[in-house]
Amino acid sequence: MKLNELLNNVRVKQVTGNAEEKEITNISIDSRNVNENSLFFAIEGFKTDGHKFIQDVLNKGVRAVVLQNQAALPDQIFEHYNAVKIVVEDSRKSLAEFSDRFYSSPSKKIKLVGVTGTKGKTTTAFFLKSLFEYTGRKAGLIGTIANYVGSEEIKTMLTTPQSHEINYLLDRMVNAGCKYCSMEVSSHALDLHRADYLDFDYAVFTNITSDHMDYHLTFENYLKAKKILFDMLSENAAAVINADDPNANEIVSDTKAKVVRYGASEKADFRIKEISYSLEGTDFVIVYKNEEYKLRTKLIGHFNAYNAAAAFAVGALESIDTDEIIKAIENSPQVPGRFEVVSGGEKKIIIDYAHTADSLMQALKAVRNIVGNTRPVYTVFGCGGDRDRSKRPVMGRIASEMSDKVFVTSDNPRTENPSAIIDEILKGIKKDNYSVIENREEAIKKAIQNSEKDAVILIAGKGHENYQEVNGVRTHFSDKETAIKYLDL
């Protein structure tokens, strides 16, 4: 695309240089991944400022740069390199706008379902992709575990990618014949304008509890960030919300979209009842338009009935046959690292991504609901570094009170001292039923080898992740692989 064509369709404050002769083939915010046909965006980040790298990208041949700090580099430098200087009000917002236009608004060419909430985003997004594909509708997915263009998997680093990456993926989906995309939408992404200019046909709200306080600082800010998704919906869209969450009405208070509710509430359009589950799966009933539908999923837990119900609601609103929706949910595969059961004879290992106080409590509630006090329950967990510190003692208390034995260990300490994180977790533990083993593999090994033959062991925090991050360096580590190794399957 010619740069001048792109500039004719976006908002800018000032353009210096000749845009007509510049051909743009890609958009980048990373100075390491540019070429002469890149449009480079200088983003003011939290750890570094992209304006510092403008000289570097000019040296690499980039001939067009978008920036918000007009004084970052003199016009004469751009003239020297025969480069176009594009000044905007906010580089992040403009990145979303430019990306939408560059890829010809791909979100308008696909049915886009955004899923947000503290818990359940990944599972609900996978339920939706499975539902669409089972019923013959090619679909993509953008999320925490991976991005998918149909069956093609593309690795990811963020729950919700940067706006130019989202539009790139959506464009690939459209070109590959995908008709639907389910997309996890994080609070960070909404607050940082990564989802701006996207045309969502549906937005699903799963729930909200305290999380990411290191970034949002207050629950009110966190709620406002989640609410952005529903505020941006058009009158042609639908907001599918968990009626049982106390903040559900606030989330949709300003939406233009049609509001549809699911949950146990009598006010729910898709009412959930008779939930039961074991280590083999979950059964429940949905009442919709005075008809009762019995559903079953391989996924385990009260919360997974809700995740499946959200997908059921979207499917019904899309006029997919209810019998087909039921079969699709029953055949949806296990989501990696989301209450994933690994068996070693009578001994059961549960790998779960629970990394907040509420998600850990819900996971342990699910375990206790299944086994009661008939089998010993062990928990292996830690807390990530450079993240919300307030949850650490709370998680320690929950793990200790709801488990027979707890192994407190390390979990992505990042730039923090692992032992210091563990000390903060221990402040919440009042019972003498814990051990500290900083090495995560050793902690998992001890829990498996030193537990009773019928024990249920919850390994929480990392779920699908296959790395440990220490001081900016990621090394391969998988809770599931480690569990299988010591179960000696």
DSSP 173-228: HHHTT--EEEEE--HHHHHTTTTTT---SEEEE----S--HHHH-SHHHHHHHHHH
Average pLDDT over residues 226-232: 98
pLDDT at 359: 92
3-state DSSP assignment of residue 291 = strand
pLDDT at 156: 78
Label the pairing between strands 405-408 and 377-381: parallel
Label the pairing between strands 64-67 and 281-288: unpaired
**Could you give the CA distance from residue 122 to residue 206 in angstroms, rounded to a whole number?**
11
pLDDT at 215: 76
Task: Please state the φ and ψ torsions of residue 197, each to the nearest 5 degrees.
Answer: 70, 5
Average pLDDT over residues 244-254: 97
Query: At residue 213, does pLDDT exceed 80?
Result: no
**Could you give the CA distance from residue 285 to residue 461 in angstroms, rounded to a whole number?**
30
Smallest CA-to-CA distance from 486 within 353, 375, 478 is with: 478
The per-residue pLDDT of the chain, averaged, comes to 95
Cross-strand pairs, 246: none
Confidence of residue 91 (pLDDT cuts 50, 70, 90): very high
Query: At residue 212, does pLDDT exceed 80?
Result: no
pLDDT at 158: 73
**Could you give the CA distance from residue 181 to residue 331 in angstroms, rounded to a whole number?**
19
Q: Which amino acid is at 418?
A: P
- How far is Cα of residue 402 from the mean position of the Cα atoms in its chain? 27
Residue 475 is inside which H or E element, if any?
A: strand 473-476
Q: How many other C-beta atoms can be found within 10 angstroms of the C-beta atom of residue 473? A: 9
Q: What is the reported pTM?
A: 0.91
- Count Cβ atoms within 10 A of the Cβ of residue 304 and give its class: 0-12 exposed, 13-18 middle, 19 or more buried: buried
Smallest CA-to-CA distance from 147 within 169, 131, 127 is with: 169
Cross-strand pairs, 23: 2
- First vs last C-alpha separation in the chain: 55
pLDDT at 375: 97
- 34-69: per-residue pLDDT in tens? 999 999 999 998 888 999 999 999 999 999 999 999
3-state DSSP assignment of residue 158 = coil
Residue with the two structure tokens 């064509």: 5
The encoded tokens of residue 388 equal 């919300």
